[in-house]
Structure 1
């Protein structure tokens, strides 16, 4: 332990602080590098070629930022969402619709009337079981009250055949 009572203690404290700061920075950078690697391993993006896997973490992170990787968990495959209909993900409180072939939208699954979770997507509408509100699959607008406000849009990304929540 460094003695704080000596006149050279001031220099020793600076050395300790600088060393601790550098070690902390190195640990933080290592943690960041590990995080990037783990997120790539769990994503649905194609694996990087083997020659890149031996690169240091800083250059590995730079190559990971080039392709747009999904920001959230994969909710479904595009084939799981019926054209003109949708699918409700109660655990994520989101509903994903396909109003037209290849066009995917997402909305909150919480009804804007009383906060119930919508229960079905049929006949071109997202339906709330509590008081009968119906919302359009194309834009979440109210088709039948008592709800007065549309379902808020949620951000999703379609990459290949995967739909992810951002």
Structure 2
């Protein structure tokens, strides 16, 4: 016995896939996670930006690398994934001591990537960097 696809099953299956793709609540099992891996695949030693481009108490978002580099205190640099842990949106700004996500309003502290304001419940993952003279590189 063979089962024929009816118009209803053909329309239902793509709709169900679209609905399930956007139903994650905090990065577990939902949303587009393809952005999560690209930062980890970059090569060590890659030049990211001049240290002078990162303001003290603020940061700089590198959207192509999916990294945000911060300078919480003069001469101390940190780097985090620029992918929000809530639903994998790219963060959009660093202001007033926080890294801010435009999608649902999550904010993360520039000093350690911890959650300052939800809905995100997990901190931004730390990225390894080195400062070589005036150049910030991937470690």
TM-score by length of 1: 0.57
Shift in Å at residue 128 of structure 1? 0.1
Q: Deviations over 1:62-88 (max 9, x none)?
A: xxxxxxxx9321111110000000000
Task: Name the structure where strand makes up a greater proportion of residues.
Answer: 2
1:95 is aligned to 68
2:103 is aligned to 130
Tell me, which stretches of 5 or more residues in structure 2 are unaligned? 1-42
Q: Which has the larger Rg?
A: 1
Task: Name the structure where helix makes up a greater proportion of residues.
Answer: 1
Distance 1:148 1:72 in 2: 31
RMSD of the TM alignment (CA)?
Answer: 1.1
Distance 2:71 2:128 in 1: 14
Match of 1:104 among 63, 68, 77: 77
SS of alignment partner, residue 96 of structure 1: strand
Tell me, which stretches of 5 or more residues in structure 1 are unaligned? 1-69
2:116 is aligned to 143
Match of 2:94 among 108, 116, 121: 121
Question: Number of residue pairs matched?
Answer: 97
SS of alignment partner, residue 121 of structure 1: strand
TM-score by length of 2: 0.68
1:156 is aligned to 129
Of the two structures, which has the highest relative contact order with CA contacts closer than 8 Å and spacing of 6 or more? 2
SS of alignment partner, residue 68 of structure 2: strand
Distance 1:154 1:72 in 2: 13
